[in-house]
Amino acid sequence: MKLLENLIGKVKPHFEEGGKLHQYYYGFEALETFLFVPAETSHGTHIKDGIDLKRTMFTVVIAMIPALLFGMWNVGHQHFLAMGELTALGDGLWDKFLYGAIKVLPIVVVAYGVGLGIEFLIAIIRKHPVNEGFLVSGMLIPLVMPPTIPLWMVAASTAFAVIIGKEAFGGTGMNILNVALLSRVFIFFAYPTYISGDLVWIAGDPSLFIDGFSGATPLGVAYLGGAEALANVAAHDYSLMSMIIGTVPGSIGETSAIAVGIGALILLFTGIASWRVMFSVVVGASVTALIFSAADLALFKDVPFYEHLLMGSMLFATVFMATDPVTAAQTTKGKFIYGFLIGVFGMIIRVLNPAYPEGWMLAILLMNVFAPTIDHFVVQSNIKRRVSRAL
């Protein structure tokens, strides 16, 4: 580390004012601050603790590591299960993880490479520092993708999300929509067959899978046949425990409630994510699911509300997407309203939309748009109440 620091120190004068490469200073500055803590010290009465943006972003990335590691193993597990090999959970742990890592790591590398490359280029052109906001988005994008997604689609969707969803609004902290969700929604509408269906969740050649194998997710099975269909799937164990552990088909980082729960604890313990948003999303989704269960709808028939919380991307979206501090509501009361409406709309889209049995991506993006409106009315309500109290 000391050797690297000395090397950076030797080349730094070439990028500073008067150096031969001074026009590329902000690209160099981004690399330097990524590797080492900045030398500048913040001052002011508004500074309340020592955490900065980079530490915040790294903490969120660390919170996603359990989901990433489990996702790698599960990609391998689903592959070997489809092949009829190493079907027990304890069989071939290293083989499954290695196979999953080979499939998942290129997606992570492409997402980070394209996203950070665009941000470095724009920083050099606009002559401003590179912010660390994409450290989180670069990890979220792979985790919400199926393991079979082509790498060029990951690159295209990442470029779209960074340029249109972030830099067009001014960069980190200025975007009104969640960047990682924009990447997923780009693929969903541009190339829907690559991110939906039964076979996209299982890595490998489908022609080699054992006869009768289905890669359908628990959500897809429950959507068509309800609780009875979940119990009668031969190729998979779709029990409550399997969905808690995460040994089911799905997006890379979204299947394990335990891994997502570990990430949630890290974010809550460090105070980075809002418990108000998480809590209200779960309440809104649970209340809506209970209402639909009482209505005895044909879709998701007899599926209890707590299984709805474990299916699909609900928990992952609640912990890592809905709590995005840039695109979420900022007021205390607004966070409760914002989260509750995400839960309500997400469950409505999931249950009542015949074309797409999942709703959290669309629900969060919808509420991203309305978050400033929610905060506006909360603030105006507080002003009116204080004025009336003063009078």
Question: How would you write the pLDDT of the chain (391 residues) with one tens digit per residue?
Answer: 566 666 666 666 666 666 666 555 655 565 565 555 555 544 444 444 555 566 788 889 999 999 999 999 999 999 998 888 888 888 889 999 999 999 999 999 999 999 988 888 887 777 766 666 788 999 999 999 999 999 999 999 999 999 998 888 877 777 889 999 999 999 988 998 888 877 788 888 777 777 667 677 777 777 667 777 777 665 567 888 888 999 988 899 999 999 999 999 999 999 899 999 999 999 999 999 999 888 877 677 778 888 888 888 899 999 999 999 889 999 999 999 999 999 999 999 888 876 666 788 899 999 999 999 999 999 999 988 888 887 7
For position 134, what pLDDT does the model report? 82
Query: What is the number of residues in the chain?
Result: 391
Q: What is the DSSP letter of 23?
A: G
In whole angstroms, what separates CA 85 from the centre of its chain? 31
Residues 6+ apart with CB under 8 A from 344: 284, 285, 287, 288
Residue 143 CA to residue 141 CA, distance in Å, equals 6
For position 23, what pLDDT does the model report? 58
CB 188 within 8 A of CB 68: no
- For the whole model, what pTM was predicted? 0.85
Q: Is the dihedral of CA 200, 202, 204, 209 positive or negative?
A: negative
Smallest Cα–Cα separation from 282: which of 251, 257, 253?
257
For position 44, what pLDDT does the model report? 44
In whole angstroms, what separates CA 369 from the centre of its chain? 18
CB 246 within 8 A of CB 268: no
For position 371, what pLDDT does the model report? 94
Maximum alpha-carbon separation in the chain: 77
Residue linked to tokens 């999303």: 281
> Within 13 Å, how many C-alpha atoms sit on residue 177's CB side?
24
How many DSSP H helices and E strands does the chain contain? 15, 0
Element (H, E) at 369: helix 360-390
CB atoms within 10 A of CB 81: 25
Q: Is the dihedral of CA 277, 171, 28, 42 positive or negative?
A: negative
Residue 121 CA to residue 115 CA, distance in Å, equals 10
For position 48, what pLDDT does the model report? 46
Rg (CA), the chain: 23
Residue 131 CA to residue 112 CA, distance in Å, equals 14
User: Nearest 5°: phi and psi at 333?
Assistant: -65, -35
SS3 label, residue 345:
helix
In a 10 Å sphere around its CB, with 0-12 CB exposed, 13-18 middle and 19+ buried, how is residue 215 labelled? buried
Residue linked to tokens 């027990």: 88
Residue 47 CA to residue 323 CA, distance in Å, equals 22
For position 4, what pLDDT does the model report? 60
CB 229 within 8 A of CB 311: no
For position 391, what pLDDT does the model report? 72
CB 240 within 8 A of CB 307: yes
For position 339, what pLDDT does the model report? 96
